[in-house]
């Protein structure tokens, strides 16, 4: 666990340079950490897929489509850009929730009352710390629908980029699940534990299947056996 001192709450990660973010990530600051990285990976996956849209819409193959197909592509292109923004929002939310959890651990614990207050705060903020990565895992799984639109209609010269987007999306999901589990582990006696645990297994299995389906399509075209 990183050092809690010096963690900045005011500046958003998306306002930093890449070098600045990486420097902080590799430092002893408590944030950014794995949860923030998961959000960034999801944003990279959607931004890369957005590039595929940008180099598909308006091109010859797109113009040849009927209005219904164009409408589908246009709708998902907008949703792709929105998911990039959403991923960055969850990246910030994860950082904020984690820092609140760290604050809980610093509460006094001298008296019985203080101990009870501290324990309750830790529990509440542990539950809160699961929210951003769990939402990111769910919404990233849903984003495969977006990738599949480009798998069908996207510029075939960019299939390698689509494949990388799928790989990154699966990595974001797997990373998010790790960040849920590290908090869920301390909540095994809660009634919601089994439900979330089962959901994590389902999300992982579906993501693995979706990623492999896209990569199978990509490899069959860019590197056939």
Domain presence at residue 15:
no
Domain presence at residue 5:
no
**Tens-place pLDDT, residues 51-87:** 999 999 999 999 999 999 999 999 999 999 999 999 9
At 36, the pLDDT band (50, 70, 90 cuts) reads very high
Concatenate the DSSP letters of all residues of 83-146 into one string.
HHHHHHHHHHHHHHHHHHHHHHHTS--SSHHHHHHHHHHHHHHHHHHHHHHHHHHHHHHHHHHH
**Residue 115 Cα distances to 108, 121, 128, 187, 188, angstroms:** 7, 10, 20, 18, 21
CB 207 within 8 A of CB 173: yes
Structural domain for 136, as ranges: 34-222
How far apart CA 104 and CA 55 sit, in angstroms, is 48
Domain presence at residue 195:
yes
Domain presence at residue 2:
no
Average pLDDT, the chain: 94
Domain presence at residue 26:
no
Q: Check whether 171 has a pLDDT greater than 70.
A: yes
- Count, residues in the chain: 225
Domain presence at residue 204:
yes
Q: Total domain count for the chain?
A: 1
Domain presence at residue 98:
yes
**Tens-place pLDDT, residues 91-125:** 999 999 999 999 999 999 999 999 999 999 999 99
Q: CATH number for the domain including 41?
A: 1.20.120.680
CB 154 within 8 A of CB 58: no
Q: What is the pTM of this model?
A: 0.93
CB 162 within 8 A of CB 151: yes
Domain presence at residue 63:
yes
pLDDT score at 13: 83
What's the mean pLDDT in 33-47?
97
At 10, the pLDDT band (50, 70, 90 cuts) reads low
Helices 112-153, 193-222: axis angle to 10 degrees equals 30
């Amino acid at each position: 666990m990183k050092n809690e001192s010096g963690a900045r709450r005011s500046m958003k990660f998306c306002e930093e340079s890449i070098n600045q973010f990486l420097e902080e990530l590799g430092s002893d600051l408590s944030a950014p950490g794995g949860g923030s990285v998961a959000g960034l990976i999801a944003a990279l996956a959607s931004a890369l897929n957005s590039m595929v849209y940008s180099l598909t819409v308006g091109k010859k193959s797109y113009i040849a489509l009927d209005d219904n197909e164009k409408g589908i592509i246009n709708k998902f292109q907008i949703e792709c850009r929105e998911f990039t923004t959403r991923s960055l929002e969850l990246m910030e939310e994860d950082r904020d929730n984690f820092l609140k959890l760290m604050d809980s651990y610093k509460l006094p614990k001298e008296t019985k009352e203080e101990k009870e207050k501290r324990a309750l705060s830790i529990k509440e903020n542990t539950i809160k710390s699961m929210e951003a990565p769990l939402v990111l895992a769910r919404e990233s799984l849903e984003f495969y629908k977006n990738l599949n639109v480009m798998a069908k209609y996207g510029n075939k010269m960019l299939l390698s980029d689509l494949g990388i987007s799928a790989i990154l999306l699966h990595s974001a999901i797997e990373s998010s699940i790790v960040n849920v589990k590290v908090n869920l582990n301390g909540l095994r006696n809660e009634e919601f534990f089994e439900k979330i645990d089962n959901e994590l297994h389902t999300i992982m299995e579906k993501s693995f299947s979706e990623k492999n389906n896209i990569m199978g399509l990509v490899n069959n075209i860019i590197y056939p056996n």
